[in-house]
Structure 1
Amino acid sequence: MGLTNMSYTVPRTVILMGIPGLEHIQFWIGFPFFCMCLVALLGNIFLLIVIPVEHSLHQPMYIFLAVLAATDLGLCVAIAPKMLAIFWFGLCSMAFDVCLVQLFFIHALQGMESGILLVMAFDRYIAICDPLRYTVILTPSVLVWMVIVVAIRATVLVGVLPILLKRLQLFHSVVIVHSYCEHMAVVKLAAEDVHVNKSYGLFVAFAILGFDVICVITSYILIFQAVFHLPQKEARLKAFNTCTAHIFVFLEFYILAFFSFFSHRFGHVLPYAHILLSTIYLLVPPALNPIVYGVKTKEIRKRVIQILTLKIGIQH
Structure 2
Amino acid sequence: MTRGAPAPLHLALARAPDGGRAFWLQTTDGLRLRAALWQRAGARGTVVLFTGRTEYIEKYGPTIADLAQRGYDLLTLDWRGQGLSDRLLDDPLKGHVAAFADYQHDVAALWAALPGLNLRAPLHLLAHSMGGAIGLRALHQGLAVRSAVFSAPMWGIRLPPGLTGATGLLAHSLAQAGFALASAPGTGAAPYVYTTAFSANALTHDPAAWAQLVAHLAAVPALAVGGPTLGWLDTALAECRALAALPSPTLPCLTGLGADETIVCPTAITARMARWPGGHLARIEGARHELMMERTAPRARFLDAATALFDAQG
Say whether the fold is shared (TM-score over 0.5): no
Q: Under a length normalisation based on structure 2, what TM-score does the superposition of the two structures give?
A: 0.29
More strand by share: 2
More helix by share: 1
Q: Under a length normalisation based on structure 1, what TM-score does the superposition of the two structures give?
A: 0.29
Higher relative contact order (CA 8 A, sep 6+): 1
